[in-house]
Amino acid sequence: MELTEAMRTTGTCRRFRPDPVPDDVLHRAFEVARFGPQGGNRQPLRWVVVRDPVLKQALADLYAPLWEAYPGRGSARRDRPPTRAAIDADHFVAHLAEVPAIIVVCAELAALYPTDVELGRLSVVGGGSIYPTVQNLCLALREQGVGTAFTTLLCREEPRVRELLGIPEGIITAGHIAVGYPERPFPTTLRRGPVERVVFADRYDRPLFDGG
Q: Comparing 212 with 30, which gets the higher pLDDT?
A: 30
Q: Tens of pLDDT along 185-204?
A: 999 888 899 999 999 999 99
Q: Tens of pLDDT along 133-165?
A: 999 999 999 999 999 999 999 999 999 999 999
Mean pLDDT for the stretch of residues 83-108? 94
Q: Does the pTM exceed 0.85?
A: yes
Q: What is the mean pLDDT of the chain?
A: 93
In angstroms, the CA 172 to CA 152 distance is 12
Q: What is the largest CA-CA distance in the chain?
A: 55
Q: What percent of the chain has pLDDT over 70?
A: 96
Classify strands 101-108 and 147-151 as parallel, antiparallel or unpaired. unpaired
Give the three-class secondary structure for 78.
Answer: helix
Asked if the model's pLDDT at residue 206 lies above 90, the reply is: yes
| Angle (nearest 5°) at CA 134 between 143 and 123 | 155
pLDDT of residue 133: 98
**Under 8 Å CB-to-CB from 48, ≥6 apart: which residues?**
103, 104, 106, 165, 167
Mean pLDDT for the stretch of residues 122-142? 97
pLDDT of residue 78: 58
pLDDT of residue 79: 65
In angstroms, the CA 191 to CA 52 distance is 35
pLDDT of residue 74: 47
Q: Tens of pLDDT along 37-71?
A: 999 999 999 999 999 999 999 999 999 999 999 87
Asked if the model's pLDDT at residue 122 lies above 90, the reply is: yes
pLDDT of residue 75: 44
